[in-house]
Structures are given as C-alpha cells and as structure tokens.
Amino acid sequence: MADPARPIPSEDAPALVVAPAELCGVDSSPSTMCGIPGSRMFEIRDALAVYHRDFPQGEEFDASQGDGGASLPGVPEEVYDRAHELQKRHGSAYDQPFGTAAYRKSVLEEYWKLDPAAGWGPANVLGCQGGRDALSKAYDAMQFLGHGRRGDFVLVSRVPWISYNWGPYGVGANVLLAPGREAGAWALTPEGIAESVAFAARQGGRKVAGLVVTSPDNPTGRTIPETEQLSLARAAFAAGVPFVLFDWIYHRVTDGAPHDLSRFLGALAPSERDRCLFLDGITKSLGASNVRNAHLLAPAKLVKFMQDRASHGVIPSFHSQAVAMAAYQMGFERASAGVVGPTNESRKVVARFVAEKKLRAVLGKGYYAFLDLGPWMDRAGMADSAAMGAYLAERFGLAVVPGVYFSEYGARWVRFSYALPSEKTARALARLWEALEVVGK
C-alpha cells in the first residue's frame, strides 16, 4: 500500500521498494567469506567404486547413509497409495506457504497428539520441504527476531552434523562449536553454553542467535534426556541466547518412547515456550528422505515470519504433506515399523559387537554408532579417519562416514549407520573387524 506521506517517484526515475531507512545494510562480508564446500559424502561412493572394480563379486555394506528408504523398506506402498489419492482430490493449485490447514491439523492431532493445554495450535505449525529447508528458515528467523542482525553465531555441539557447519553460514550466520569433551561424547553443557556466549562477545561484540540441541544426535547417536534438554535451554536463555532449536528428526527411531512434546511444552514457562522451535518430520523415521517433508513447531510470531518469507521462496509441496498425513492417519508407529523395527534390532547387534570387541563407542538411539578407530589408524600411520574411510571402502566394500568430515575433533572416529536389516549389520561389523585385524600389517 502506498504511503501517503511518501511522494511517488516519476516513472522515468528509479524507485525504491522500501523506504530508505529500511534498506538492507551494505555488507562486504561476501567478499571475505570462505566458499561453502560440497558434502564429502560423495567421496564415499567414489571409494566404493574402487572396490567394485577390484572385487566385482564382493558384497557391499553401506553403513554410511542415514536413509532408511535406501537400506530398509522405507515408506509403505499403502501410504503412497493413500497419499496419491489425497493428491488427486486436492489438485495441483498453489497452497499456502505454511502448507495446508489439513496438514497442520494432522501434525498436531494425529502425529503429536498435542494436549490443547500446551497452548499451541495450527498457527504454530510450519510445513517445510525437508529438514534443510526447515533449518534454513529457522536460522533466518532466529537472527531477525532475536538480536535483529546477521553475522552472529548459531551454537552447535563440538562434533556436529556436516550441514550444521554450513547451513547457517549460507544465510549469514556464523557457526560456533560449543565446548565438549571426547570422554563425554562432546555433550553440550550449561557451562559450555555460557562460555560460548562470552567467547562470541570477544569476537568483535558478536552474540549467539540460537542454540541447536539434537537428540538423538547426528553423527554420534548420543541421546539427551528431556530433562537435560530443558536444562540446556534454560542455560541458553539465562546467557542471553534468544532461541533454542530442538532437532528431533531421529527421535522416533528408538526402542524406548519418543519425545513427548505435550510434556515438554508443559514443563516450560510461557516466556520460555516463546523461544523454542522444534524440528521433526518423516525423512528419517519413515525412510522418506526423497519425499522431503518436515515441519517446524514454533511460536506463532516466528511461524508468521517464516511463512511470509516462504511465500517468496520455498513453498512445501502438497504431495510431501500428503505422504506425511497418510502415515499419521494410518498410525505412525505402524507406518514407520519397517524402518524403526529393523534399526532397533540392529542397534542390539552393534551393542553386542562393541562390548565383545571392547571398542570405544558412542551408542545412543537413532541410526548411528560413533566408533573410535584411532588405535588402528595409529598402527597404519593414517592421518585421520578420512584415510580409514577410504581403506574400508576401497579394500573391504564397507562404507562409513569419517568423523573428520564433521569436525576435526572427530578425526579419530567414524560414523557407522545401522539403518540396515540386523543380519546385514552383523555382516558389516564382521567385515569391519576383518579389516581392522589386517590394517597396517
């Protein structure tokens, strides 16, 4: 709408879209920022190609991926059939940038079964085109609605998921690794959060725009009890961090109970609740990585901010929402059983192997075990776990993710994905031990 106090420029002159005082600031940091590297995950495929060339009849074990749809049955056909019917009835016209009203309702009532007493409703749900889309929108909102500036830090654990290092950077936020000791699986601590905020201030007066708490964790698999997650959030708020994002994308892949959002929200004071965001979706627990559906639950103010921006950017596809709704309507435990059940069985196989071989490991829930292969790397004179990863893939057909891909603090570790049938996990672990017994000899 035209501002009556602002003269309309002549059609022959350039015209601003916003008022001069509202223009984006001139920022020269793109000229000094480093280039964002491509994911090194593709190097794993290259290493497996060497194995196939040299051992064309050899069995391959892909313990590198986090995609149940690639290694397990993934989305049931019944869910796809139901989703296709929903899509046909819905049509192909544009939807709202938050998704659809039906999707919001399904997320709240059929998936989370959220207690109305928690105080959150449809306006607190944002549909997203996968987890990375959700995270990018969240980083943006945390910067704008927190301290109101770019260039501050997103705080993550010491050995974070690869895209935590670079996703914030791509939208103008820097990334800070919180203190965390290897002996404690690099766990976040209240003291480490406070120290990180103080460290940020020493970097030219920067602040922490948001903290990311992930449970179960990628890459380590470490699982954080809800009470501890609450303590971390409160430590962040006390230190002046405006927002905490809880990434729960793996929390359904467990042999225990998933996180209880109603209980969690109920434990928060209203002022604390207004500073929390929750990420979940179907990419992991349903094995629907390429369907690209996730959702954010957040204060209505943040959701409104993100959906307004999404109206000019990425709007979630209805088909991705339809797959989620079909799974929620079926009953998510039933829909996800083909991924969750075998993964839980595989976790038991890994636990027995780790105990039997006396391996140093982090083994919580989710898909991953983080294994310390440092002693074998030392014996072989390997510089870091990238060399170990190449050795395992090229010589033994076993793909794992080198911990050094996540951060230098994981340089002696590898991520072993057990999102596999339990019998294949057992064979993959046997192959790992076969390789370790001869490495460096």
Yes or no: say if 312 and 283 are a contact pair by the CB < 8 Å rule.
no
Would you tell me which CATH number, out of the four given (3.40.50.720, 3.40.50.620, 3.90.1150.10, 2.30.30.830), belongs to the domain 41-66+336-438?
3.90.1150.10
Non-local CB neighbours of 384 within 8 Å, separated by 6+ positions: 377, 402, 404, 411, 412
Can you read off the two tokens belonging to residue 95?
């939807």
Longest CA–CA separation in the chain, Å: 81
**Residue pLDDT, tens place only, 333-351:** 999 999 999 999 999 999 9
Query: Higher model confidence: residue 44 or residue 296?
Result: 296
Please determine, for residue 377, whether its predicted confidence score (pLDDT) is greater than 80: yes
φ/ψ (deg, to 5) at 94: -55, 145
pLDDT score recorded for residue 185: 96
**Residue pLDDT, tens place only, 307-326:** 999 999 999 999 999 999 99
**Residue pLDDT, tens place only, 103-139:** 999 999 999 999 999 999 999 999 999 999 999 999 9
Average pLDDT of the residues in 274-296: 97
pLDDT score recorded for residue 3: 64
**Residue pLDDT, tens place only, 231-255:** 999 999 999 999 999 999 999 999 9
Please determine, for residue 416, whether its predicted confidence score (pLDDT) is greater than 70: yes
**Residue pLDDT, tens place only, 7-53:** 788 999 999 999 999 999 999 999 999 999 988 777 788 889 999 99
Would you tell me which CATH number, out of the four given (3.40.1390.10, 3.40.640.10, 1.10.260.40, 3.40.630.40), belongs to the domain 77-332?
3.40.640.10
Domain ranges of the chain: 41-66+336-438, 77-332
Please determine, for residue 89, whether its predicted confidence score (pLDDT) is greater than 90: yes
Whether residue 375 has a cis bond before it, omega within 30° of 0: no
Q: 441: pLDDT confidence band, cut at 50, 70 and 90?
A: confident
Cα 352 to the chain's mean position, in Å? 28
Average pLDDT of the residues in 368-378: 98
Q: d(Cα 54, Cα 430) in Å, to the nearest integer?
A: 20
Please determine, for residue 1, whether its predicted confidence score (pLDDT) is greater than 70: no
Q: d(Cα 426, Cα 65) in Å, to the nearest integer?
A: 17
Can you read off the two tokens belonging to residue 221?
């698999």
Total Cβ atoms within 10 A of residue 183: 8
pLDDT score recorded for residue 4: 65
The reported pTM is: 0.96
Q: d(Cα 420, Cα 65) in Å, to the nearest integer?
A: 10
φ/ψ (deg, to 5) at 373: -105, 20
Yes or no: say if 276 and 233 are a contact pair by the CB < 8 Å rule.
yes
User: What mean pLDDT value characterizes the chain?
Assistant: 96
Yes or no: say if 51 and 391 are a contact pair by the CB < 8 Å rule.
no
**Residue pLDDT, tens place only, 191-226:** 999 999 999 999 999 999 999 999 999 999 999 999
Q: d(Cα 434, Cα 429) in Å, to the nearest integer?
A: 9
pLDDT score recorded for residue 2: 56
φ/ψ (deg, to 5) at 109: -90, -40
